[in-house]
Chain A
Amino acid sequence: MDIRRARICDLRKALDTKQISAPELCGEYFSRIEAVDGRLQSYITVTKEKAFEMAAEAQKVIDSGKATALTGIPIAVKDNICTDGVKTTCASRMLENFVPPYDATVIENLKREGYVLLGKTSMDEFAMGGSNQTSAFAKTRNPHDLERVPGGSSGGSAAAVAASLAPCSLGSDTGGSIRQPAAFCGVTGIKPTYGRVSRYGLVAFASSLDQIGPIASSAEDCAILLNTLCSHDERDATSARVTVPDFTEKLGQPVNGMTIAMPKEFFADEIDNEVREAVLEAAKSLEAKGAKLVECSMPSLKYAIPAYYLIACAEAASNLSRFDGIKYGYRGEGATFEELIRDSRTKGFGEEVKRRILLGNYALSSGYYDAYYKKALALKQEIIKEYNELYSVADVILTPTAPTVAYRIGEQEKDPVKMYLADICTVTVNIAGLPAINTTCGYDKAGMPIGMSLVGKRFDEATILQLADAFERDFMPVLPKL
């Protein structure tokens, strides 16, 4: 069986019709991982032994005729999502040997379905970055061009799916960390509404912005995964008490009559010409399917980057304080506990993580709180207000996912401000807690994928999935040659 870009529904059919067994399928992916991942570096940990055990269990369920959507489906999981008994490193020396004694809620949900864990994917350290080059263990490359970055922070999850080292994966998105690598690698990824998926077991970067979501080959696969990932969770006080629909229900329904808003600030000069053209082209094809395009404005976008980095870094500074080398994780040396903590954190964290901790603590320190953090919270309210205004006239907002295609390794990482500015298209969605999906809408001259984002109303993942699916039906993705 050719597993290159196999979709979940194809695999389901193959498994249920006994065309392939769950352990055989699992073996196919490990063959590819062994052949390719030395160059790609998408996994930090490969859980081969465990995967075959899980696959054997899944096969029993399949044989008994009780298989559900994800029984026996191999899935890669970002290495900041806790997996009981499996190392969860956040791509940091700090957690190099950390083995959580519990599963994240999303992992429990997947286990109930009988999924198969392929391994833990690389990422930017503690999800801080957009290139996967801050990973302490596996600096993932882009499967379309190994000289380029895969995006980040869920770069491993996106690259693994693009290169068919997993049919689908889990990522996490704090300021674009699912959508941007999905765009750079030419796959589909959705960040659900804040509160839709439990954060329990996701190692926190910025608690008010973080959300787990799926990365896969199609919007349909994302919908299938969301059906399992979403649940109200008593262990996460920010988990919403909303009913979870069947996200596949609206797929295939006509999109005519749908209104799509395109705020002009997202198509301004900072956006690369080829990217702009491809996204506008995609908008036209949606218009041809009966959707109505509306031009509009989102003036607060110019404040989005500072607001985002203040909120995210402040929360991160506090969230990452627990890594002190005392209970678990990297332990430095020192005669007093102050020295021990200082040494552990100096050596355990990478440069980008330390930069953001400093930034966050600065923004929260006495005398600066009002000037920075409080203002950022006010901007958050402003951004939410502008989104609400847009949604009074539109069903969905369409923007590019990133200002450029994947850039060359080493091109931008040395300039943190430039790196931060590259998040301009994605961060407002997290600030407002909205759902957004990336799907591939074209390729540049060099053959690098270009992504567009569809942003929905709160808890209306179904509509953006429907729209992305409608687009994907007439779009032929190009597979990397890897």
Chain B
Amino acid sequence: MRYYPTMGLEIHAELLTKSKVFCSCSAEFGGEPNTRCCPVCSGLPGTLPVLNRRAVEYIIKAGYVMNCDISRFTKWDRKNYFYPDLPKAYQISQMPRPVCLDGHVDIKVNDEDKTIRINRIHLEEDAGKLTHEGRISLADYNRCGIPLIEIVTEPDFHSAEEVVAFFEKIKLLLLYAGICDCKMEQGSIRCDVNISIAPEGSEKLGTRTELKNLNSLKAIAKAIEVEIARQTEILDNGGEIVQETRRFNEAAMETLAMRSKEDAHDYRYFPDPDIPPIIFTEEELADIRATLPEMPEQRMARYRTAYGISENDAVIIVSDKRVSDFYDEAVDGCKSPKNVASYLVGEFMRRVNLGEIDLDELKFSGKDFARLVEYLYSDKLSQNNAKLVLGEMAQRGSSPESIADEQDLWIKEDTELLSAVIDEIIASNPKAAEQYRNGDQKVFGFFMGQANKALKGAASPKAIQEQLIAKLRR
């Protein structure tokens, strides 16, 4: 039988606040185990949590960029369960009154627009980390209390492509809003997938399973594929899906049962008496909204209208905030933003994809790059030499000027040399010259190539072309 999959996501994203959500410990990633914790986040008796208002601002921003309603009244609840990585044995989270409700995010999959509904976004604290070494387990509480938002979608996905596209869009929005660094490998953004299948045409949804441990975009897509296949096989053989949480094992390409509905925790949620509810005024919300930076759609519109760059180039630039930030820096005060965009999308991105340019550790500034493009388009550097210069800039970070000086790469516009070289080329290739004069345009490329090779950047392509035409026609 053919089945139709339905999926919903729970995305956890750590907020980029300086301190933790209920104490003043650093919220930075890593650190020697148990060096970024205090009596409050390690849950010592008598200590009390105090809400970090910056974290609240950040979740409100997340709500706005995902088109949510922001609750005017919000409060925190305790989610009670025992686990050694949870020092208080309860997680401070939000149950009935989350900060954000009823949002939506638009995505594009295979050129089709689609809207994914957001059920809610709430603010909670992260737990610590356990490491198991043989028979002993070690607890590191550095991550305890790092502010976390949980984005819960409606079951609006029907393919792995949609899930991946949405997840990438969420990452982009969070990065642009400056509220999460979205490093999956460090766990600062994590995604659980609720997934069920039902016979095609059926109105009713099937029994769902929840997939965990999805550490990369690739893992998300693979896990969905594997789980759909597993569920399909069970239904085809007349079996029943068990509602349970499953862990994806990427090496074995399989999902494994973690716990079933029967052993699900009763979290005994109740309002946290240590944290008074918050009531937002319209002014407070407006102030927070006003601090939202320019989002990808707005940037794209600006690139298109103010700089006149193509939609394709604009899409490529904004889909990585680091590239877009670099571009903004490059074109600030630059005369030809359009040229900068095409060289960025072309040569620069080529080297990014090859791993020659590391966007997290750029060795040169946007301004350096803009001047390089300027030299290329004003015939001060040849196409080949510009590439050479960019390569050097990526490697050692010097300015384009000093690299071109050092390696003698500037176009010199040496007209005497140019004239002599061209005369010589025409003289040693009489046949080809004859062909050209008889109207064969194709051989012109051959002459250009010969001239470039001999001149090594001593003249601009434009000058070579002019001289060649003039001399060949003679």
Contact = CB atoms under 8 A, between A and B. Distances in A.
B80 A318 contact: yes
Contacts of A364: 80, 268-270
A364 B90 CA distance: 13
A322 B88 contact: yes
Given A102-B39, A201-B46, A365 B270 contact: no
A421 interface: no
Contacts of A201: 46-47
Contact of B46 (A204, A321, A337, A341): A204
Contacts of B45: 82, 88, 90, 95, 98, 100, 203-204, 322-323
B78 to A, nearest CB: 5
B268 A365 contact: yes
Contacts of B47: 102, 200-201
Binding site secondary structure of chain A: loop
A324 interface: yes
Interface string A213-227: 000000000000000
B84 interface: yes
Nearest to A234: B50
B82 A321 contact: yes
Given A203-B45, A235-B48, A321 B90 contact: yes
A373 B95 CA distance: 16
A238 B272 CA distance: 11
Contacts of A200: 46-48
Given A100-B45, A327-B42, A365-B266, A318 B274 contact: no
B273 A207 contact: yes
Contacts of A235: 48, 50
B137 interface: yes
A210 B274 CA distance: 11
Contacts of A337: 82-84, 137
A452 interface: no
A262 interface: no
B82 A338 contact: yes
Interface residues of B, number: 30
A237 B276 contact: yes
Nearest to A237: B50
B99 to A, nearest CB: 17
Nearest to B83: A337
Contacts of A341: 82
B366 interface: no
Contacts of B268: 317-318, 361, 364-366, 369
Contacts of B89: 318, 321-322, 324
A314 to B, nearest CB: 6
A236 B46 contact: no
B49 interface: yes
A100 B44 contact: yes
Contacts of B90: 318, 321
Contacts of B43: 322, 327
A102 B42 CA distance: 13
Interface in A85-136: 88, 90, 95, 98, 100-102, 104
Nearest to A207: B273
A61 to B, nearest CB: 28
A239 to B, nearest CB: 9
Contacts of B221: none
Contacts of B270: 314-315, 318, 364, 369, 373
6 smallest beta-carbon distances between A and B, as pairs: A321-B89, A208-B273, A364-B268, A207-B273, A203-B45, A82-B46
Given A203-B46, A327-B44, A327-B87, 11 more contacts: A88-B45, A237-B276, A238-B274, A314-B270, A318-B78, A326-B139, A327-B43, A337-B84, A337-B137, A338-B82, A365-B266
26 contacts: A81-B46, A88-B45, A101-B44, A102-B44, A200-B46, A200-B47, A202-B46, A204-B45, A235-B48, A236-B48, A237-B48, A237-B49, A238-B274, A238-B276, A317-B268, A318-B78, A318-B268, A318-B270, A321-B80, A321-B90, A322-B88, A324-B84, A324-B89, A327-B42, A327-B44, A337-B84
Interface of B: 39, 42-51, 78, 80, 82-84, 87-90, 137, 139, 266, 268-270, 273-276
Interface of A: 80-82, 88, 90, 95, 98, 100-102, 104, 199-204, 206-208, 234-238, 314-315, 317-318, 321-324, 326-328, 337-338, 341, 361, 364-366, 369, 373
